[in-house]
């Protein structure tokens, strides 16, 4: 094959058939954290469409870690059965199933966009949120509880337990969500972390929770289990988390056995000034790949086959992580291969519709 987009990529002993990744995208369609037929069809159709790696939406490691009451979860064994049905189907299509483990922190207990805005009142199923410090995301919101040491240890245990359930559910790749202003990111950034203990202040202290989560997850996984961490490379805000810190963190994560950095940005503060445009986050991925020596995934307004191919050819990323374009077109990988002149296999049920090169 002449295109990089359709060359395999290895994460430990897992081989992805191409470099196209379905980014985690919240569906806000669960009750009590349970996956259902919507998730089966949503994720399954992207597998039929040919993506190499398909990552679930942010999957809460605890009930209080959900972004909304309708978030997917993996905090109890009963969640495993339906998730296993989904991973089995994804695998049958030749794709790899990944799961993003998440805790929303102070951005938890919120309404999905189509149900309203802001925090969900307790009378409507909401709950008290937690964070690194008692600083709300928005000034008019209730302040979160500052996690004490016992609370921090519970979070770490919840991630480890969720990882164990993920393996039982058949997920081949685990991603830790440390981006977009959710709990781990809240510890990373000095804008949301004003602690004075060993989890706040210095860079080394602010990254401590993430490193402890990585260690706990790795302790319950086999050595060959691929581990990914998603980060926000910058807060897009003065005195916040920035790209220099992201490079430094990525090098540490690589040395701790993390196999790939999924590079996004933003989400921590409402006043961020984000310069959005095609491939706008790719420079962050490129810098981390070059300076930290880590494998990276690039995400953010990547919508065209040629654009994705160019990013890979330029050495700016190892994987192309796509979100909205794969909502618009679940079969983007099949169409992209045709545009790039690559003859890849289609599902046998659809083969009669495959265009000739």
- Work out whether the CA dihedral 296, 302, 305, 308 comes out positive or negative: negative
* Catalytic entry in 182, 199, 331, 350: 182
Which residues contact residue 227 at a Cβ distance below 8 angstroms, ignoring those fewer than 6 apart? 173, 174, 175, 176, 214, 217, 218, 221, 257, 258, 259
| Contact criterion met (CB below 8 Å) for 22 and 326 | yes
- Confirm whether 182 is a catalytic residue: yes
* HSE toward the beta carbon, residue 310, CA cutoff 13 A: 10
Q: How do 9-11 and 14-16 pair as beta strands?
A: antiparallel
* HSE toward the beta carbon, residue 287, CA cutoff 13 A: 17
The catalytic residues are 182
């Amino acid at each position: 094959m002449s295109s990089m987009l359709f060359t395999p990529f290895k994460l430990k002993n897992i081989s992805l058939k191409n470099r196209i990744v379905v980014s985690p995208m919240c569906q806000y369609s669960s009750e009590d954290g349970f996956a259902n037929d919507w998730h089966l069809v949503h994720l399954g159709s992207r597998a039929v469409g040919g993506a190499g790696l398909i990552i679930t939406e942010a999957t809460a490691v605890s009930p209080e870690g959900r972004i909304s009451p309708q978030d997917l979860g993996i905090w109890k064994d009963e969640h495993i059965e339906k998730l296993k049905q989904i991973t089995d189907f994804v695998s049958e299509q030749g794709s790899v199933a990944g799961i993003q483990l998440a805790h929303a922190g102070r951005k938890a207990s919120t309404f999905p966009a189509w149900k309203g805005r802001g925090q969900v009142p307790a009378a409507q199923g909401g709950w008290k949120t937690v964070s690194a410090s008692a600083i709300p995301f928005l000034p008019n919101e209730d302040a979160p509880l500052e996690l004490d040491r016992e609370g921090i240890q519970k979070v770490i245990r919840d991630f480890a337990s969720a990882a164990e359930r993920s393996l039982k559910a058949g997920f081949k790749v685990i991603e830790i969500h440390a981006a977009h202003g959710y709990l781990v990111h809240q510890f990373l950034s000095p804008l949301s972390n004003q602690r004075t203990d060993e989890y706040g202040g210095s860079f080394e202290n602010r990254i401590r929770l993430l490193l402890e989560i990585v260690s706990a997850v790795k302790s319950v996984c086999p050595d060959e289990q691929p581990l990914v961490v998603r980060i926000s490379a910058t807060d897009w805000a003065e005195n916040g988390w920035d790209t220099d810190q992201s490079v430094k963190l990525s090098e540490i994560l690589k040395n701790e056995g993390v196999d790939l950095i999924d590079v996004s940005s933003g989400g921590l503060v409402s006043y961020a000034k984000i310069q959005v445009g095609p491939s706008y986050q790719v420079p962050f991925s490129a810098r981390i790949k070059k300076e930290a020596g880590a494998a990276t995934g690039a995400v953010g307004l990547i919508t065209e086959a040629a654009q994705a191919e160019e990013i890979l050819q330029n050495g700016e990323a190892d994987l192309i992580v796509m979100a909205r374009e794969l909502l618009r077109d679940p079969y983007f990988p099949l169409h992209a291969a045709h545009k790039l002149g690559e003859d890849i296999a289609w599902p046998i049920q659809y083969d009669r519709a495959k265009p000739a090169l």
